[in-house]
Amino acid sequence: MRSVITGSGIGLPPNVVTNEALATLMDTSDEWIRVRSGIQERRYAEPGQGSTDLGAIASRLAIADAGLNPADIDVVLFATMTPDHVLPGNGPLLQVALGLRDIPTFDLRQQCSGFLYGLELADLLIQSGRYRRVLLVGAEVHSPFMPWHLGWDTLIGRETRTITEAERAENTLSRDRTVLFGDAAGAVVIEGREGASGLGPIRLHTDGSGAGVLTMHGASFKRRPFVSHAQIEAGDTLPVMSGKEVFRSAVTLMPQAVREVCEIAGVAVEALDLVLIHQANLRIIEGVQKALGLRAEQVPHNIERYGNTTAATLPLLFHECRAQGLIRPGMNLAFTALGSGLHWGAAFYRT
């Protein structure tokens, strides 16, 4: 029995936000953002649209793509770092949105590695014989993180106003992070089937000593109160990141993980048809490609159009590669990601 991806779908919010649009709110430019990240534009959710809503769009499409109905799903795995609420998690909210029957749902919190960890859990659930069809979702709505003063409606065209110099200066303080993220969802249906195709070796790693490299200090249950005006004003409710350390870890650890699963699968790295890398930064993607000695066509990317969508990047990229005909039967693929934790790893997949 192998765990096979039988359907995929994506959920994209309607608002396209360009680098030029961000430059109206802060001291940045299209060139500044492209040089540092490769991003040209990203999507922002509608007011009141959460990661469950985007996940539901992607899930309906994935279930239909697999030729199934919602009643056929046995278990839900929902990976996100931006849930609709602190509690409950997105799993039960998605269950209601899709009209699923009384089935278990899991909420995964491995941030950028959430979908990758979900692949491992889906495979283990199927191999256990307890479940046959798994719905795995990665969805994020990052835009509410942004500490802009009335900036959201300006960016999505709901109002036109002039940002004050004071607001512009405040917005600029967080530009190194806020320009990177976008909102999106991706979902896959994974089923147990006989045959040679499906998930192969998966290797996951965690190094908690690197937790401080990418973290968020505010809105914390270690603090009293959980959140305060002082935390917001200090920027503690925004992620903090050591960019150089994240880059170094990513271009070292992701290639190591890909080599690890290829060795177990008995496939040379250069024989991989595609490597689907977490879309955090184009410079990281290019660094991983170089470290693995791969050609550009072996490492597709779409960060230019979506930015970093955290747990959604891998299923979004996978779906688009399928839609573009880049993924065909009989190919060898690898998924890899690294995120806050630090969590990282890779999965081998034969189509």
**281 tagged catalytic:** no
Dihedral sign of CA atoms 52, 57, 58, 59 in order? positive
Among residues 87, 159, 81, the alpha carbon closest in space to that of 117 is found at 81
Q: Is 332 a catalytic residue?
A: no
CA gap 158, 128 in Å, rounded: 50
With CA atoms as reference, report the closest residue to 258 among 283, 284, 291, 281: 291
Residue with tokens 């699923």: 100
Q: Which of 112, 142, 281, 319 is catalytic?
A: 112
Q: Does 321 qualify as catalytic in the annotation?
A: no
Among 15, 142, 278, 301, the active-site one is: 278
Instruction: Kindly report the backbone phi and psi dihedral angles of residue 144, in degrees, each rounded to the nearest multiple of 5, phi listed first.
Output: -65, -20
User: For residues 205 and 173, what is the distance between their CA atoms, to the nearest angstrom?
Assistant: 33
301, 308, 332, 343: which is the annotated catalytic residue? 308
Catalytic residues: 112, 278, 308
